[in-house]
Structures are given as structure tokens and as C-alpha cells.
Chain A
Amino acid sequence: MDENQDSVPLMQRILDNPFILLFLGVSFPAVLYLIWGIMEIASIPLAN
């Protein structure tokens, strides 16, 4: 099975690897939601 691994299309190989998916599934929301959001909150100015 492993010897014909090369013929498997790239996207299928990504979908077949749970750990790549885990990495993407944690880093996407971490960057787009958590880090972006924390940066916005951190940059709120002081009231006069």
C-alpha cells in the first residue's frame, strides 16, 4: 500500500492524515479568531 502512496492525490493524502488535520483545525481558529481577537482587545484606547 505504501509503495503506491505517491499516486494518491495530494488533497486526499491531507484528508487521510488526522494529524495534519488536527494541526490545521487548531491553528486556523487560533489565528483567525483567538489571536486576532486578543490583538483587537489589547489595542483598545483609554477613555479621556
Chain B
Amino acid sequence: MSQQFRICPDTGLKLYQPAETMIKVHAVAAVVCLLVGGIYGLLVGLTRWPAVHLLPADWFYLALTGHGLNVLIFWCIFFEIALLYFASSVLLGCRLAVPRFAWVGFALMVIGVLMNNYIVMSGEASVMMTSYAPMEAHPLFYLSLILFAVGALVGCFVFFGTLVIAKEEKTYEGSVPLVTFGAITAAIIAVFTIISGAIILIPTLLWSLGFLAEIDALMYRLIWWAFGHSSQQINVAAHITVWYAIASIVFGAKPMSEKVSRMAFFMYILFLQLASVHHLLVDPGVSSEFKMFNTSYAMYLAVMASMVHGLTVPGSIESAQRAKGFNSGLFEWLRRAPWGNPTFSGMFISLVGFGFLGGISGVTMGVEQINILVHNTLYVPGHFHATVVIGTTLAFMALTYWLVPVIFRRELIWKRLASWQPYLFGLGMAGVSVFLMGAGTLGVPRRHWDITFSTTGGIVHEFPAAANTLLALSGLSVLLAVLGGAIFCLIIVGSLLFGRKLGVDEKSSTFIIASPPSDADYEGIGKGGIAVPGTLVMAIVFFVAFAVYYFINWKYLAQTWGIS
């Protein structure tokens, strides 16, 4: 058995060969899905840009369906399964439970993705990612999602099995690492997500095959969103886990407090999935009590958790940097961070973008009443391009740069270009996010091919001229973001094919991992009895921005028609 393990010459991690293989295949599949979804995204962006309006209507709806599924679901979940195997087998230094099952799970996911892309491209399933019944897609569409989900569920069980093995074989002492705990959080949310998906997609498949007479539209929405929204909560838990991991990789940072960070993840486990109701806030048939309780994640406890992570991750970086001697002023620690290292810059842009753009907009539009203003407008994709693309995707990209030498044993090619990539992608996507949210505020609908209504032959609606400007700016931002995404895919695929191979015991020529500061180094850091004053100041700036934006929206709401 022991020859299946190797010791990483850079990190000292004990790597189990079948687990490494599984991490590799999942990461590669993820990047392929990102590439396909990104191409669809470019087409969507160029069609939304009024002056370009690239695709005809049927192709637009097809591309939008393919875009959503490939990036929002397939890219993220493939990467997350890789992350689960990393956080269990690699970090705990143990063998992977039943690698054969891991292969079965992977195969099911790949079959699901291929089948799904085939049926979407054939034009028989242009039903958007949400496939709202009673609009009907080809049965293969539902079947492909079920196969993918079951494959992912198998991956989750392999992960839990691996945790059991590590505990029984005593490959670690005490509690699991914080990063593993975050992965457990993501896996638990994934289990709920996939069970919900099965509850709704299996009857929907039967209905599309004619075995069931009907699928209730409201019931579909309720249960589908326990799948659709929770899958994005897997992403949140996973990318925050990646933040913690990168803080430790790049700075040798330790958690400010194991208790606080783990309790914050625990709040996710209990309450994050309740946010599925965000999609039902202006639906008929479910009560305001139900909406208010669930949309607030039971008194905003999961929002509190995100805001705590938002402090503890940069806080752990700040204290590590201060411990290393960058202790003067409020922000020396941040100025002296390695901004040319894409693993760090990607993670930090992810953190700031997720918090300021995605977090604030998400909580605000998740208010039961404020949702009336934004439901199904472009504000919604604006919001989630900040959470899932800047937040999740950029964090995953940042970690991938690190996985190439560590797991794939290849040197990264084009390092200079790589150091620019997170900025390009982050800036482009921040533009997409802000401009779509702006257009949504003006009422522009999402998933809509022609907001000039030039072909209705009857009533037309004219949006304010600013809407066209915002959509054009969003189109330009799409180009920037797609360029950033393409560079990422190119560097990763290029490195895997042509990057210099690293010998078994050879250290990478680039920086891989920082050594943690000693306990003595941490003595007396900070200012006025506060260890991380810079982070606290940033957090308070964030809080003020949040509160101002939140109340501006209430004021905006108060100006529209009376609704009761």
C-alpha cells in the first residue's frame, strides 16, 4: 500500500495516487465545462449588447441554457468533487475510500454532461437551466441532470467514506483541519441539494415520458430551488473553504479562531439552504411567514456567518503578515502581499467581489418586499455573476494555478500572463455584474432576447436610454471577462500538455507554500489591543456600504405603487 503514497517535495503533504488521479480528472473535466460554458457566455453577452445583437432568438435561448448549465452547475460541481477529494485524502494523508466508486461517480457525471450538452445543442431543450414545468424539455435533458447529480452524490459518499478511513486509521490527531471542515460543509449542502434534485427531477422525467399526467408549477418551483439554489450554496461553502486554504498556502496563516470559523460553517450547515426561497418571494401560494423566515436564513444567521468569514479570512492573512514583520500602519500587511501571485490575487479579488458586489446585492434583494423590484430582472444575473463568477469561479481558478505544480506535477507556463489573469477576469466580471444590476434596476428583464420589442407587432415598451448604455457596457465587460477566462483555460491546458514535468522529488521553481510563523512571532502584533486593525477597518467600511445600500432600496421601494 505504501508505494501508492508519495510525499510532496514542496508541501510535505502525503498524497495517495488514486486520489490524485481523481482530483486530476475532475479538475480537467471542470475546466472543459468552463470553456464550453464560457463560449456560450460570450455568445449570450454579444447578443445582449444592443448594437451587436449577435444571435437569432432561438439560438440565444439555446446558448443561455447551455451557458447556465455548463458553468453554474457542471464546472462548479466537478471542481468541488476534486476539492472534496483534496480536503479528505490529501489533507488527512489517507487513502481514498473505494476509488472504484469514485470512478463510477465520475463516469456518471461525464455521461450526464455529454448527454446534456448534446440535447441542449440539438435545440430540443432550450428551457433554461431552471426548466420550469409545465414547459417541457426532451426527456434526455432531465435524465442527464439526474445522472450528473447521482454521480456527484457518489463523490460525496466517497468523501464521507474517506473521512471514516482517516479516523479509523488515525492518520490525523484531534479534529480535522479547518479546510476539511469547510469541505464537509460543502458536501453536506451537496447531499441536500442532490436529494432535492432527485425528488423533483425524477417525477419530471416521468412526466416528460408520459407516465405522469402533470407537474404542479408551484411545487416544481419550491423543490427545484432546493436543488438549484442550494447548488450555489455548495459553491459558497466551497469557495470560502478555498479562501482559507489559500490564506494558509500563501501566508502560512492559521485560523484566527477555530471555534469562530467552524461555528460560521455550522451556521451554513443549518441555515444556508433555506435561501432557496429567494426565488419564491413574489410567488403566489406560500405565506409571508414562510417567505420571511426562510429568506432571512432564520434571522440572518447564515449572512452573519458569511460576514464572519469575510473578517476571519483576511484577518488570518493580516495576523500572519504582521507576525512576519509587516506590522506597521493599518495596511502594510496588505500592500506587501504578493499581488503578482495569481493564487493570492485571484483569492483576494474573489473575497472583495463576493462580499461587496455579490453579498450586499444578494441580501438586499432577498428582502421579501424589495424582491418585488428586482425579481427576474437582469439584477438577478448581475448579482450571481458576482457570487458565482467572481466569488466561486475566480477562487477555483486561483487554486488551480497552485494545483498544477502540486498535483499535476507540471510547471505553470506563461507565468507573467497568469499573474495578470485574475485582474482581467475580475475586472471584466465586476463590470458584467454592476452593469447588469444597473439595467435590472431600470426594469430590464433577464433571459430576454429583444428588449426593444421590435417584433411584437403591437404594444412596445421603451426602456430608459440608460438601459442601452448599461447593456453595451456590460457587453464590453463580457469581452474582458471572456478574455480573462480564455487565458486561464489556455494557461492551464497548455501547462498540462507542455509545462515542464517535475521529477518525483523535485521542488517547483515557483513559490508553493509559506512556512507558518511561530507562536512567538504572533506576540504583540496589531494596534491598541486589536490584532487585525486593518481588516476590522475594511469590515466596517463594508458594513457601512451594506447598510446604506440596504436602506436606499427600502426608500426606492416606497416610491412605487401601493401593493397589498
Contact = CB atoms under 8 A, between A and B. Distances in A.
Per the CB under 8 Å rule, do A and B touch in the complex? yes
Contacts of B270: 24-25, 28
Contact of B184 (A18, A26, A36): A18
B262 A29 contact: no
Given A16-B175, A21-B269, A34 B226 contact: yes
Contacts of B176: 16
Contact of A29 (B163, B181, B274): B274
B184 A32 contact: no
B191 A33 contact: no
A22 interface: yes
B175 A12 contact: yes
A37 B188 contact: no
Interface string B504-524: 000000000000000000000
A26 B285 contact: no
A12 B191 CA distance: 23
A37 to B, nearest CB: 5
A12 to B, nearest CB: 7
Contacts of A32: 274, 293-294, 298
A44 B266 contact: no
Contact of A15 (B266, B277, B294, B298): B266
A10 interface: no
Given A15-B175, A34-B223, A41-B216, A22 B160 contact: yes
Contacts of A44: 285
Interface in B234-283: 262-263, 266, 269-271, 273-274, 276-277, 280
Chain B interface size, as a band, is 35 or more
B290 A25 contact: no
Contacts of A16: 175-176
A46 interface: no
Nearest to A39: B290
A3 interface: no
Nearest to A12: B175
B188 A21 contact: yes
A4 B91 CA distance: 25
Task: Determine the main DSSP class of A at the interface with B.
Answer: helix
B287 to A, nearest CB: 6
Grouping DSSP codes into helix (H, G, I), strand (E, B) and loop, the B interface class, with mixed when no group exceeds half, is helix
B196 A34 contact: yes
A40 interface: yes
B274 A37 contact: no
B546 interface: no
Given A15-B175, A15-B262, A41-B285, A25 B188 contact: yes
B222 A15 contact: no
Contacts of A26: 188, 191-192, 195
A30 B262 CA distance: 22
A17 to B, nearest CB: 10
Nearest to B223: A34
A25 B189 contact: yes
Nearest to B277: A33
A26 B218 CA distance: 22
Given A25-B188, A40-B290, A44-B285, A34 B222 contact: yes
B407 to A, nearest CB: 24
A33 B293 CA distance: 9
B98 to A, nearest CB: 17
A28 B273 CA distance: 9
A29 B290 contact: no
B169 interface: no
Contact of A33 (B181, B216, B269, B276): B276
Nearest to B225: A33
B547 interface: no
28 contacts: A1-B173, A15-B262, A18-B163, A18-B184, A19-B160, A22-B188, A24-B269, A24-B270, A25-B191, A25-B192, A25-B269, A26-B195, A28-B273, A29-B230, A29-B271, A30-B192, A33-B273, A33-B277, A34-B222, A34-B223, A37-B277, A38-B222, A40-B285, A40-B286, A40-B287, A41-B216, A41-B218, A41-B286
Interface of B: 160, 163, 170, 173-176, 181, 184-185, 187-189, 191-192, 195-196, 216, 218-219, 222-223, 226, 230, 262-263, 266, 269-271, 273-274, 276-277, 280, 285-287, 290, 293-294, 298
Interface of A: 1, 12, 15-16, 18-19, 21-22, 24-26, 28-30, 32-34, 36-38, 40-41, 44
Please provide the 7 A-B residue pairs with the shortest distance between their CB atoms, ordered closest to farther: A25-B188, A29-B273, A25-B269, A37-B222, A28-B270, A26-B192, A40-B286
